[in-house]
């Protein structure tokens, strides 16, 4: 039976089991232009089910999940038969949408309805890890630790826990163990690639990212226990960034087009492609880059490094002005409007800035007039645990993480204390990176600081 005929046979089944989903992956993995063929099959499924409900909604919802259309998948699955398939794939969608509480609750429902308890446990631990709670994830997987020493997925999650806790040697060993048990295990391979990417080993990262998105697994592989999307979007996005940084724009665009072929409305892929098209017309000025680096180092100097009176220092602290860059983004009127901040303190700060040929509000005059999508005024959450959460536990792109490391930003609270102009003034930190930071902060009820 040829690929198209086999795919059509599966798509025409009234309901799908996990085995059917694995067969779909195995079928499209061996096809030419697999995602296009699968999208075509899904389009036929939509035509035949204009108002899906029950089993049809579950089936189409799973198909949407496989095409990275997570919002649509959640909506459709909510209309479907309340079975284990519906609940498990709902949970996977919630995980990709970073709705951690919904994912955890729905995984519990999937187990109640008969989904494999071990798979649910491992997915639960992974969600806990991604939400920043590695300690709870470690306790979660203890349930199956003794019986899972030959389980590739178990070692992948164990590696994630170690990685989130900063134990990188153990993490790499766990990922390697996962790949030893199941060669080219996709999730473990991605985490290894991400680690090497983050630590500057670009060649190793590219090799592993490419391995993530190659056609390596088929439905006949009985060790495969879960179903990823037809494309690994995060691997392709990170590959695109590496290729763009190397000036290989066509390769970068090819990666993004693979994502957009699967989901034409993928927001990050669309933004990245826009950035890459803009990068092709940019001319790199080494002297200007060095000048900007020196300026960024200057702007990152904490105001506590300067000799200021106790009153001036306390006022700046209460206004959340922590760096020289923060100070250059505030006006004299804004300083004077603050309680206990008078002309004497203003003169003191102006003198200090003048010694560095700087003035209050200097960056405000040159800052971009582009409006932001949100109007929050910085860290408004009172939960000190959230503000103190290390960025090592937050899922960020390699590009963003490297810039934040240069700025010595280590926690969510420190990130929320930054302003948009401070971040965009850094090399390689464009609108796409800003949008990513805003989304991650929003996940925790935070936002970048704004001085109004």
Q: DSSP characters for 19-71? A: HHHHHHHHHHHTSSSHHHHHHHHHHHHHHH-SS--HHHHHHHHHHHHHTT-HH
In this prediction, residue 424 has a pLDDT band, given cuts at 50, 70 and 90, of confident
Residue 273 lies in a domain: yes
Last residue of a domain, one of 248, 282, 316: 282
Residue 337 lies in a domain: yes
Q: Look-up: residue for tokens 């409007």?
A: 337
Average pLDDT in the 248-263 region? 87
Q: How many CB atoms lie within 10 A of CB 118?
A: 18
Average pLDDT in the 246-256 region? 88
Contact assessment for residue 126 and residue 159, using Cβ atoms and an 8 Å cutoff: no
Task: Please indicate, yes or no, whether residues 251 and 335 belong to a single structural domain of this protein.
Answer: no
What percent of the chain has pLDDT above 90? 25
Task: Please indicate, yes or no, whether residues 9 and 105 belong to a single structural domain of this protein.
Answer: yes
Task: Please indicate, yes or no, whether residues 19 and 70 belong to a single structural domain of this protein.
Answer: yes
Average pLDDT in the 241-254 region? 86
Task: Please indicate, yes or no, whether residues 320 and 405 belong to a single structural domain of this protein.
Answer: no
In our burial notation (b when 16+ CB lie closer than 10 A, e otherwise), range 354-388 reads: eeeebebbebeeebeeeeeeeebebbebeeeebbe
Q: Is the pLDDT score of 369 beyond 60?
A: no
**Side-chain-facing half-sphere of 359: CA atoms under 13 Å:** 7
Last residue of a domain, one of 115, 148, 182: 115
State both tokens at 245. 């940084």
For 419-448, the DSSP string reads -HHHHHTSTT--HHHHHHHHHHHHHTT---
Q: Is the pLDDT score of 287 beyond 70?
A: no
Q: Look-up: residue for tokens 């498990």?
A: 88
* Per-residue model confidence (pLDDT) at position 153: 92
Task: Please indicate, yes or no, whether residues 328 and 261 belong to a single structural domain of this protein.
Answer: no
In this prediction, residue 206 has a pLDDT band, given cuts at 50, 70 and 90, of very high
Residue 448 lies in a domain: no
Most confident of the following: 61-70, 102-111, 272-281: 102-111
Residue 221 lies in a domain: no
Residue 174 lies in a domain: no
Task: Please indicate, yes or no, whether residues 110 and 33 belong to a single structural domain of this protein.
Answer: yes
Of residues 129 and 329, the one with the higher pLDDT is 129
In this prediction, residue 376 has a pLDDT band, given cuts at 50, 70 and 90, of very low
Contact assessment for residue 92 and residue 66, using Cβ atoms and an 8 Å cutoff: no
Q: Is the pLDDT score of 221 beyond 70?
A: no
State both tokens at 16. 């799908």
* Per-residue model confidence (pLDDT) at position 313: 82
How many domains, in total, are found in the chain?
A: 4
Q: Is the pLDDT score of 1 beyond 80?
A: no
Which tens digits make up the pLDDT trace of 305-341?
777 888 888 888 877 787 877 788 788 887 887 777 8
* Per-residue model confidence (pLDDT) at position 219: 33
Lowest mean pLDDT across 7-11, 32-36, 39-43: 32-36
Task: Please indicate, yes or no, whether residues 416 and 396 belong to a single structural domain of this protein.
Answer: yes
Of residues 353 and 205, the one with the higher pLDDT is 205
**Integer Cα distance of 170 and 249 in angstroms:** 35
Q: What are phi and psi of 196, to 5 degrees?
A: -65, -35
Q: Is the pLDDT score of 270 beyond 70?
A: yes
Lowest mean pLDDT across 43-47, 183-187, 203-207, 339-343: 339-343
351: Cβ contacts below 8 Å, ≥ 6 apart? none
Domain region containing 400: 384-443
**Integer Cα distance of 162 and 378 in angstroms:** 31
Lowest mean pLDDT across 29-43, 95-109, 115-129, 242-256: 29-43
Which tens digits make up the pLDDT trace of 137-166?
999 999 899 889 999 999 999 999 998 888
């Amino acid at each position: 039976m040829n690929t198209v005929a086999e795919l059509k046979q599966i798509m025409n089944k009234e309901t799908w089991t996990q085995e059917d989903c694995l067969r779909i992956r195995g079928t499209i993995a061996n096809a030419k232009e697999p995602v296009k063929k699968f999208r075509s099959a899904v389009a036929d499924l939509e035509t035949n089910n204009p108002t899906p409900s029950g089993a049809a909604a579950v089936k189409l919802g799973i198909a949407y999940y496989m095409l990275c259309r997570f919002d649509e998948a959640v909506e459709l699955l909510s209309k479907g038969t309340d079975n284990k398939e519906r609940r498990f794939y709902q949970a996977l969608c919630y995980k990709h949408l970073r709705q951690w509480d919904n994912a955890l609750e729905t995984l519990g429902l999937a187990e109640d309805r008969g989904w494999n308890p071990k798979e649910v446990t491992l997915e639960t631990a992974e969600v806990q890890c991604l939400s920043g709670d590695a300690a709870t994830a470690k306790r979660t997987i203890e349930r199956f630790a003794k019986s899972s020493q030959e389980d590739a997925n178990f070692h992948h999650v164990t590696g994630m826990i170690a990685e989130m806790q900063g134990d990188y040697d153990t993490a790499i060993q766990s990922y390697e163990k996962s790949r030893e048990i199941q060669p080219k295990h996709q999730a473990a391979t991605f985490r290894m690639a991400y680690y090497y990417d983050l630590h500057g080993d670009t060649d190793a990262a590219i090799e592993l990212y490419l391995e993530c998105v190659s056609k390596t697994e088929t439905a006949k592989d009985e060790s495969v226990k879960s179903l990823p999307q037809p494309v690994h979007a995060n691997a392709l996005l990170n590959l695109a960034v590496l290729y763009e940084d190397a000036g290989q724009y066509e390769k970068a665009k090819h990666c993004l087009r693979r994502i957009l072929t699967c989901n034409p409305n993928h927001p990050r892929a669309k933004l990245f492609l826009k950035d890459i098209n803009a990068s092709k017309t940019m001319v790199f000025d080494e002297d200007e880059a060095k000048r900007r680096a020196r300026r960024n180092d200057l702007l990152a100097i904490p105001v506590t490094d300067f000799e200021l009176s106790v009153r001036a220092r306390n006022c700046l602290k209460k206004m959340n002005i922590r760096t020289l860059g923060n100070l250059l983004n505030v006006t004299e009127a804004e300083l004077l409007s603050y309680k206990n901040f008078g002309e004497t303190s203003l003169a003191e700060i102006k003198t200090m800035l003048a010694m560095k040929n700087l003035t209050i509000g200097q960056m405000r005059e040159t800052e971009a007039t582009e409006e932001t999508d949100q109007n929050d005024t910085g860290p408004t959450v009172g939960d000190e645990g959230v503000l103190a959460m290390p960025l090592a536990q937050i899922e960020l792109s390699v590009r963003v993480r490297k810039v934040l490391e240069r700025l010595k930003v280590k926690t969510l609270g420190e990130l929320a204390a930054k302003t948009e102009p401070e971040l965009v003034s850094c090399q390689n930190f464009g609108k796409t990176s800003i949008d990513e930071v805003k989304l991650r902060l929003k996940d925790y009820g935070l936002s970048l600081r704004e001085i109004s």
